[in-house]
Each structure stands twice: as structure tokens, then as C-alpha cells.
């Protein structure tokens, strides 16, 4: 516990806290625990967090600490799908990190519990915790339960495909709207939200077996109360993120994301987190293990199950036990236990949801890094969600400079089987903000083209999206990458098994086009996104703001 609240220099600090109702014993003799609550009444992943925060505070008080709750921003990216403002989502990760760093530093907390549920908010609070580097626990909001329509399970990821082209006032659309989000919680696919919830546990910053507890289960509040008690012990032991986050545990996270067929966005977040933690991690690590580790998790979109099913099957400990031959088992976690000790008692209760290495969903792995003359640095594909017939394909390019242009072409029948759509200038600096290309990807599925048309972009995808779609192409088009030089009709070839992405043009032709290319005018010239565009790294370095 720090001494910033004792002595003459702390008179004003004590006066301020007494104005909030704390007494001398609270202020001087107990550890102060910041409770970062990313509550948002209009986002299902965060709408229920106040109740969980109360359980956390009960645990802190019970263990002899003083909880101090404060807010950090959160959003639901699905609120803005189809609009240009979707570009704000990834930059929001840095805004959340700054909020955590700002408040925690000014208030001199001895420890932190960070409560978050969704895509960019979880890595945002984790970045903030790494910067502050006081004892910290990340608590996840959990997954929502699944809905049902005409006897079929419905998840939020199904909404776009099921309703595209339908009358918004039709009974079917209204019914789907009403049941897609049955309750609070993160969307119950292996999207970015649940992928990152799992990463909090794999990285040792969450309590074992708790990351995937569904949002409305009573177990979620019990786990929150336990975390509140545990953080006080961690403060006493001075167990900080820097004591836990080393290269070995980051590699465990890389391998787990591949094995579970996690979101491609997790790669961005792990790279940014490792950079903040001063841990060496690069696309080469993802490339290496993407060629070794099969995908064994049957959660949508790689399989047909939900994250609720995954939790019932044994959750993260059961998954880690299945891939233990690939993991560093002696790394420590916030409990003081090693990964090996945690998974020793784990049981896989459903071999259809969490398979063995001998019976994978996809032997090629969940994620692959592609390289070639169209992606000299790297590109990413979720290989576990690509039809076998599209693991190797080539075709003529149809080029678009915005997601909205791509979806318009699909709806107008201008995209045909065998085409390769190119959607560019949607990268970190070009969009700016590296937009999720959700309109075009959903349209390919809705129009039955997801097994015959490829899509290449320097943008990224929602964790909902699936099919022969390749994103995170670097260098991005706005930075003069080869994607900027593609013209309609150019032949693009993809070989996922051999990890290649090429355009069938000579170096001489590419050089000639490069001479003529001019960087487009910046789309945003003020505000948060202008700042982000000036300071962000490329996608293969995590796309975070840094100098």
C-alpha cells in the first residue's frame, strides 16, 4: 500500500476522500482499489455491469480494502455497422486505455479491477492496466444467452444475413430483432468480444474458469466477489501485470487463439498489448504456430456451437488442457498458480464443442498469416471458417475504395462467382481507424457468394464474419502498399495452405503503377480520428497509437 494518503502532504487528498464519505481508517490503513466499470446502458455487453461491479466491491470490502468505482467509455460496434463512424471503434481501444491510465494515476490506486465485455474495450482496459502496473484483475461481463427462431438457434451474428434484403417492417424481421439479443452480455459467437474475454484468462489476468461464465448466471457475481477479495491479497503481495506478462504467456495466447479459431482482431490486440508490456511478439509468431496448431473449437463461425456451450463444456481450462503439449505450463497467473496447476483438474465435458488435437475442426489451424507480393508484410485469414473449396483460389479483381461501394456492387449483381473483391483505403491510416468490412462480407453470405467469391482488404473484419475473406493487408493502400496498385481485372491468387497472397503482375508493372500512384487526401482532418491517423502503427504492429 502506498503512503500518498499519510502525513502533512496528504491533507488535501484526505479531505477530498472524506467529502466522499470515507473515514480515516479507510483512507490511511486500507488498500485503495480502483474499480473500472465500463457500463453503458445502450450496449448489451455492458448494460449489466453495474450489478457485477457491486459484487466486486462487496469482495473488496470483505477482504479489508476500499473500493473506488469509476467509469471508462464503452461502445457496441454493432450500433454503427454500415456507417462511416464505425472507424471510431479500434481507436476507442486507445481512448479506454488513456481513461484507465489517467484516473488510476491521479487517484493513486493500490490495485485495479477492470470490468469489461466487448471487442475493443477489453484490450483497452488491459492496456491501461499494463501502463499503470499496479496489481490488477480483469473481470469479463460474460456472454449473452442464445435466442431461437422457428426452431433454430439465433445469435446476433445471424441477424445481418437473415434480414438482408427483407422489409424492415415485416414480421420476420421484427421477430429476429426481438430474439437476437436475449439478454445482456457479449454476442455468443467466437467473435472479438468472446475471443478477448478468453484471452484475459489465458494471459493470467482473470480468475481461472470464469472468463466465459454467461452474463446472467449467478456464478458471474460469485466470481466477481471472489476477484474483489483476491485483489486485496495481490496488493499485499505486490503481484503486478509486469510479473505475469512475459513472452511465454503471450505465446500461450497466440497458440490458444489459433486453436480456438478466434477473431482475427485478437492478433491486433495481442501485438498492441505485448508492445505496451515491452514483450517481443510479431506476426512471425502467429505465422509459425498457425502452420502447426489445428483448430479444435466448434464455436461459430468455425462450428455450430455458442460460447455458452463452450463454457458448459469446460471453458478455457478444458481448452488449454487439450492443447497443453503446445503450451508453457510453468507460467504464473493472478492466483499464484501456474497454468499447469490450473488445468490439471480440468475436464472436457463435450468433445463436440472442444475437440482433441487428433480430431480437429480444421487441421490447417484457426488463423493463418499470408504473405506475397500483394501483402509483403502480412495479411490474415480465419482459415477455420473458409470452405475447403476456397482454400486455394484465383480470379479477376473487382476494386472498391469503401465497404459501402462493395456491398452496393453485390446487391446490384455486379459481383460474380470467381471474382476477388478488393476493398482498400480502409486501413488504420486510410479509413482512418481500420474499419470492419461487415457490409460486404454479410452480403456475400446473404447472396450465396461466400463459397465462390474472395475478398481482400486492408481493413479488418468483425469476429462474426466468415468465408474466404482476407484482411489486415500490410502495408495498407493509404501508405502506398501494393493493394493501392490493383486494377479491375488483375488476377489475384490465394493459397491458404501455403500461406500466399499474390497478384499476377511483374515487378516492372507494379513499379510503373507505383510511379503514377498518388496518396488520396486524408478523409478526416480534425478530432480524435485525425489524432489517431497521425499516431497509429500499421496493422502488423497492432495499429495502436504511439510515438
Burial tier of 324 (Cβ tally within 10 Å: 0-12, 13-18, 19+) = middle
What are the CA-CA distances from residue 536 to residues 8, 316, 432, 530, 546 (Å)?
A: 43, 32, 9, 10, 6
- Measured CA to CA, the distance from residue 228 to residue 232 in angstroms comes to 7
- Measured CA to CA, the distance from residue 211 to residue 224 in angstroms comes to 11
126-167 residue pLDDT tens: 999 999 999 999 999 999 999 988 888 888 888 877 888 888
Catalytic member of 195, 302, 462, 538: 462
- Measured CA to CA, the distance from residue 507 to residue 491 in angstroms comes to 14
170-226 residue pLDDT tens: 988 898 889 889 999 999 999 999 999 999 999 999 999 999 999 999 999 999 999
Domains and CATH numbers, the chain: 31-145+183-343 (3.40.50.2300), 368-541 (3.50.30.80)
Strands, DSSP E only, in 123-258? 136-140, 147-149, 152-154
Q: Which of 83, 85, 91 is nearest to 123 (CA)?
A: 91
Identify whether 462 is a catalytic site residue: yes
Q: What is the pTM of this model?
A: 0.96
Mean pLDDT per 10-residue interval, the chain, length 547 residues: 87 97 96 99 97 99 99 93 91 98 98 98 99 99 93 84 83 88 94 97 99 98 99 98 99 98 96 98 97 95 94 99 98 98 97 97 91 98 93 98 96 97 98 95 92 97 87 98 98 97 97 97 96 98 93
Residue corresponding to grid cell 469479463: 140
In sequence order, what are the residues at sequence separation of 6 or more whose Cβ sits closer than 8 angstroms to the Cβ of residue 5?
13, 14, 17, 27, 28, 32, 108
DSSP for residue 197: H
- Measured CA to CA, the distance from residue 42 to residue 32 in angstroms comes to 30
Residue corresponding to grid cell 480515516: 24
- Measured CA to CA, the distance from residue 120 to residue 536 in angstroms comes to 15
R_g over Cα of the chain: 23
> Given this model, what pLDDT does residue 466 score?
84
What would the 3-class secondary structure string for 84-129 be?
Answer: HHHHHHHHHHHHHHHHHHHHHHHHCCCEEEEEECCCCHHHHHHHHH
> Given this model, what pLDDT does residue 104 score?
98
- Measured CA to CA, the distance from residue 331 to residue 256 in angstroms comes to 15
> Given this model, what pLDDT does residue 1 score?
63
What are the CA-CA distances from residue 1 to residues 29, 31, 125, 330 (Å)?
A: 9, 6, 22, 28
- Measured CA to CA, the distance from residue 164 to residue 196 in angstroms comes to 28
- Measured CA to CA, the distance from residue 538 to residue 379 in angstroms comes to 12
Amino acid at each position: 500500500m502506498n503512503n500518498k494518503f499519510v502525513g502533512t502532504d496528504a491533507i488535501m487528498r484526505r479531505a477530498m476522500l472524506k467529502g466522499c464519505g470515507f473515514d480515516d481508517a479507510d483512507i490511511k490503513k486500507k488498500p485503495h482499489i480502483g474499480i473500472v466499470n465500463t457500463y453503458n446502458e445502450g450496449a448489451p455487453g455492458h448494460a449489466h455491469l453495474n450489478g457485477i461491479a457491486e459484487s466486486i466491491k462487496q469482495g473488496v470490502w470483505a477482504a479489508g480494502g476500499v473500493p473506488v468505482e469509476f467509469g471508462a467509455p464503452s461502445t457496441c460496434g454493432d450500433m454503427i455497422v454500415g456507417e462511416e463512424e464505425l472507424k471510431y471503434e479500434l481507436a476507442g481501444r486507445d481512448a479506454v486505455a488513456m481513461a484507465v491510465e489517467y484516473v488510476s494515476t491521479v487517484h493513486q490506486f493500490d490495485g485495479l479491477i477492470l470490468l469489461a465485455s466487448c471487442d475493443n474495450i477489453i484490450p483497452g482496459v488491459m492496456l491501461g492496466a499494463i501502463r499503470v502496473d499496479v496489481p490488477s484483475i480483469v473481470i469479463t461481463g460474460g456472454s449473452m444467452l442464445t435466442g431461437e427462431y422457428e426452431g433454430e438457434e439465433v445469435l446476433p451474428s445471424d441477424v445481418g444475413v437473415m434480414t438482408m434484403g427483407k422489409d424492415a417492417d415485416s414480421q420476420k424481421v421484427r421477430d429476429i430483432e426481438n430474439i437476437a439479443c436475449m439478454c445482456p452480455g457479449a454476442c455468443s459467437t467466437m467473435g472479438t468480444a468472446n475471443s478477448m474475454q478468453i484471452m484475459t484468462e489465458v494471459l493470467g489476468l482473470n480468475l481461472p474458469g470464469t472468463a466465459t461464465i454467461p452474463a446472467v448466471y449467478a456464478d458471474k457475481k460469485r466470481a466477481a466477489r471472489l476477484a474483489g477479495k483476491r485483489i486485496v491479497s495481490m496488493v499485499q503481495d505486490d503481484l503486478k501485470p509486469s510479473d505475469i506478462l512475459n513472452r511465454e504467456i503471450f505465446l500461450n495466447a497466440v497458440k490458444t487463439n489459433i486453436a480456438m479459431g478466434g477473431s482475427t482482431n485478437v492478433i491486433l490486440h495481442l501485438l498492441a498489448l505485448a508492445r505496451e508490456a515491452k514483450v517481443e511478439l510479431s506476426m512471425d509468431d502467429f505465422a509459425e504456430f498457425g502452420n502447426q496448431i489445428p483448430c479444435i473449437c466448434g464455436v461459430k463461425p468455425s462450428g455450430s456451437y455458442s460460447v455458452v456451450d463452450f463454457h458448459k463444456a469446460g471453458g478455457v481450462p478444458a481448452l488449454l488442457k487439450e492443447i497443453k503439449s503446445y503450451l508453457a505450463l510453468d507460467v504464473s497467473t493472478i492466483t499464484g498458480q501456474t497454468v499447469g496447476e490450473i488445468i490439471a483438474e480440468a475436464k472436457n465435458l463435450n468433445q463436440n464443442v472442444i475437440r482433441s488435437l487428433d480430431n480437429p475442426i480444421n487441421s490447417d489451424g484457426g488463423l493463418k498469416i499470408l504473405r506475397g507480393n500483394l501483402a509483403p508484410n502480412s495479411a490474415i485469414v480465419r482459415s477455420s471458417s473458409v470452405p475447403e473449396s476456397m482454400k486455394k483460389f484465383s480470379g479477376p479483381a473487382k476494386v472498391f475504395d469503401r465497404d459501402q461501394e462493395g456491398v452496393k456492387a453485390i446487391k446490384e449483381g455486379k459481383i460474380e462467382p470467381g471474382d476477388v473483391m478488393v476493398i482498400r483505403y480502409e486501413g488504420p491510416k486510410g479509413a482512418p481507424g481500420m474499419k470492419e468490412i461487415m457490409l460486404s462480407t454479410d452480403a456475400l453470405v446473404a447472396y450465396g457468394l461466400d463459397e465462390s467469391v474472395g475478398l481482400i482488404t486492408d481493413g479488418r473484419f468483425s469476429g462474426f464474419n466468415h468465408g474466404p475473406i482476407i484482411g489486415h493487408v500490410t502495408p495498407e493502400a493509404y501508405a502506398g502498399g501494393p493493394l493501392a496498385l490493383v486494377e479491375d481485372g488483375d488476377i489475384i491468387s490465394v493459397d491458404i495452405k501455403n500461406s500466399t497472397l499474390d497478384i499476377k503482375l511483374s515487378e516492372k508493372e507494379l513499379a510503373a503503377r507505383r510511379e503514377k500512384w498518388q496518396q488520396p487526401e486524408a478523409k478526416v482532418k480534425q478530432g480524435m480520428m485525425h489524432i489517431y491517423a497521425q499516431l497509429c502503427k500499421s496493422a502488423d504492429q497492432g495499429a495502436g497509437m504511439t510515438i
